[in-house]
Chain A
Amino acid sequence: QSVLTQPPSVSAAPGQKVTISCSGSTSNIGYNYVAWYQQLPGAAPKLLIYDSDNRPSGIPDRFSGSKSAVSATLAITGLQTGDEADYYCGTWDSSLRAGVFGGGTKLTVL
């Protein structure tokens, strides 16, 4: 059971938009930076979004993030087949004094 809650899977057609939610609490998302990671099959995770809504250089603006209270959302527009991957949210939990991740969401581009 993960501290952060994500839907197990989402799907959408190429060119469409999809959102992935990440629900937590005041001890984690509520007061700490939230990041999103993409993990392609057989690869290491890659940082997509940091501090809730910022992209590292090289990440397309098709990927965006937002945060409200104790939840965060990753949005992907203009879906491509190459976006099929597992997506994870992550943050620090001030009560646990540990890093925490969501269980991951598998994106299928139909």
Chain B
Amino acid sequence: EEQLLESGGGLVQPGGSLRLSCAASEFSFSSHAMAWVRQAPGKGLEWVSGISGSGENRYYADSVKGRFTISRDNSKNTLVLQMTSLRVEDTAIYYCASDQYRGGLVWGQGTLVTVSS
């Protein structure tokens, strides 16, 4: 069964940076597009960023464009989200997700990012 394990969350001040990682296992990582999806406290799901299996194509939500960078290392089965210029409204649980089923995402357990002074 596919496994995704996020790490790197924590408390950061507004304007700060944070790097999230997602370790993938039990599937052919390079064959699948990956995504980051976040959920603010008490709110719904918000797609943040996506990347193709090769890493050639990258996509971002308007709310994070220019501040967040998605990348992947297929030799290490790792997905990364580099977040800069963080804002209070970026506070959320960040989920790593893999497109395993023709648009159907398999999810990790999430990592909490809190942006506060």
Contacts and interface: CB of A to CB of B under 8 A. Distances in A.
Task: Determine chain A's interface SS by DSSP, over half rule.
Answer: strand
Nearest to A92: B103
Contacts of B60: 98
B95 A44 contact: yes
B105 interface: yes
A90 B45 CA distance: 9
B54 interface: no
Contacts of A64: none
B108 A91 contact: no
A83 B31 CA distance: 33
Interface string A11-40: 000000000000000000000111101010
Task: Determine chain B's interface SS by DSSP, over half rule.
Answer: strand
B105 A90 contact: yes
Nearest to B36: A99
B104 A98 contact: no
B108 A44 contact: yes
Interface of A: 2, 32-35, 37, 39, 44-47, 49-51, 54, 56, 86, 88, 90-92, 97-104
29 contacts: A32-B103, A33-B102, A33-B103, A34-B103, A35-B101, A35-B103, A37-B105, A39-B45, A44-B109, A45-B37, A47-B100, A47-B104, A47-B105, A47-B107, A49-B104, A50-B102, A50-B103, A51-B103, A54-B101, A56-B101, A56-B104, A98-B60, A99-B47, A99-B50, A100-B47, A102-B44, A103-B44, A104-B44, A104-B45
Interface of B: 35, 37, 44-47, 50, 59-62, 95, 100-110
